[in-house]
Amino acid sequence: MESLYLLIPISLIFIAIAIRMFFWAVNSGQYDDLDSEGERILFDLESPLDELDEIEGLDEIEGLETEQKDHRDKPQ
């Protein structure tokens, strides 16, 4: 019975911390976009390397001098 005097306040503190963390997550935007992460894995989008090739190609077309970097030869 005496242990309840210790366990009840400790459990109330844990509940208050959990509620505070939940409201922090909601207010900081953690639950704003629930669909995009689930859809991202389903749809095959272009890889970032393809997008980088397109960007480098645009720079050459516009006449801007860019340093040619072969990003596929770099070890990852």
Q: Name the one residue in this structure whose structure tokens are 């801007």.
A: 64
Residue 70 belongs to a domain: no
**Count of domains forming the chain:** 1
| Residues 66, 56 contacting (CB under 8 angstroms) | yes
What is the model's pLDDT at position 35? 81
pLDDT over threshold 90, residue 49: no
Residue 67 belongs to a domain: no
Residue 12 belongs to a domain: yes
Averaged pLDDT for residues 31-41: 80
Looking at per-residue pLDDT, the higher value among 66 and 11 belongs to 11
Domain residues for the domain of 11 are 4-61
What is the model's pLDDT at position 38? 78
Radius of gyration of the chain (CA): 26
| Residues 72, 49 contacting (CB under 8 angstroms) | yes
Rounded mean pLDDT of the chain?
Answer: 75
What is the model's pLDDT at position 63? 54
pTM for the predicted model, two decimal places: 0.46
Looking at per-residue pLDDT, the higher value among 50 and 15 belongs to 15
